[in-house]
Amino acid sequence: MTKQKKSAPQARQEMTGLERLGLRVSSMINHPLAQIQRWVTIHRLDTDGDLEWEEVMGLLADTPELDLTFNDDDSVTVRWEPQSAEDRDDIVIEKDWEEEKLEEEAPF
């Protein structure tokens, strides 16, 4: 029997502060409860650096679908309106070919 060589353990890459904060904010916004109520309050943690916080808040502020409220306790409340499927660019709506045919033919 041949012995399998053990590969050297790969170095573990740590997340940057910006990646960690971005992932946390994204997770909070995409949480099912936040999606139902269409708002979430993001609290700044002691581990969130000034540059990282400003970068992520700037990205959120530049997103036209989001409304940000900067609270007195350094938290930020993010609100958004529901979007129709037609307004979204991440969903492809396929029509049934029979439905298309009915739309093309005049009923009279």
CATH code at 17-80:
3.90.1070
State pLDDT tens for residues 69-101: 999 999 999 999 987 666 655 556 565 556 555
Name the pTM for this structure: 0.65
> Which of these, 44, 46, 98, 52, lies nearest to 74 by C-alpha position?
44
8 Å CB contact between 42 and 22: no
Q: What mean pLDDT is reported for the chain?
A: 83
- Provide the token pair at 53: 């916080």
Give residue 82's pLDDT: 85
Average pLDDT of 47-60? 95
Q: Find the mean pLDDT for residues 55-67.
A: 95
Predicted local confidence at residue 83, as pLDDT:
74
Q: Is the pLDDT of residue 5 over 70?
A: no
Q: Average pLDDT of 14-23?
A: 92
The answer to whether the beta carbons of residues 14 and 47 sit under 8 Å apart is no
With residues binned 3-state (H G I as helix, E B as strand, rest as coil), the percentages for the chain, rounded to 5, are 35, 15, 50
Domain definitions of the chain by residue range: 17-80
The mean per-residue pLDDT over the stretch 3-18 comes to 76
pLDDT at 11: 76
The rounded distance, in Å, linking the Cα atoms of 79 and 16 is 27
Higher pLDDT: 55 or 97? It is: 55
